[in-house]
Amino acid sequence: MEILKVFSRIYVDPLNLYTHIKYYENIFDAKCKMIIEHPAGLELAAVGPILLIAGSEKDLKPFKDTQLTFLVDSIQEFQEELDKNGAHILSEPKEVPTGMNMRVLHPDGTIVEYVEFKRNLI
């Protein structure tokens, strides 16, 4: 059971997504490793430790309470461990375009998305 990467989420206007990608590529001296379309009408881009999430205010609203994204090697193992340690599973593991995800409320009040990629996208 391992956290492979931690992303800080930044929510942006879709019209400026590529401007934001370029900005973060410059400050992290890293290339954008992933751009995907999400079925909820969003576009996601990963640059270094940043996950840019682009969409309209309406489309972003259900996602804005989530503060971080953890890429993990086994969502099932994390679910079991989180259950034992006082976390509350807000959304059970489900299939998403990148693999599997779940949303979790940590005991400190932080909402984290856990993602297990079906293949190495990053």
Q: Is the pLDDT of residue 114 over 70?
A: yes
* Tens of pLDDT, residues 71-88: 999 999 999 999 999 999
Q: What is the pTM of this model?
A: 0.86
What is the number of domains present in the chain?
1
Given this model, what pLDDT does residue 122 score? 57
What CATH number is attached to the domain comprising 51? 3.10.180.10
Residue 122 lies in a domain: no
Given this model, what pLDDT does residue 118 score? 77
Residue 113 lies in a domain: yes
Residue 59 lies in a domain: yes
Q: Is the pLDDT of residue 12 over 80?
A: yes
First to last CA, the chain: 18
Given this model, what pLDDT does residue 119 score? 65
Given this model, what pLDDT does residue 38 score? 81
Which value, in Å, is the radius of gyration of the alpha carbons in the chain?
A: 14
Range(s) of the domain holding residue 55 = 3-117
Residues 57, 111, 72, CA angle at the centre, nearest 5°? 110
- Reported as a pLDDT band with limits 50, 70 and 90, residue 40 is confident
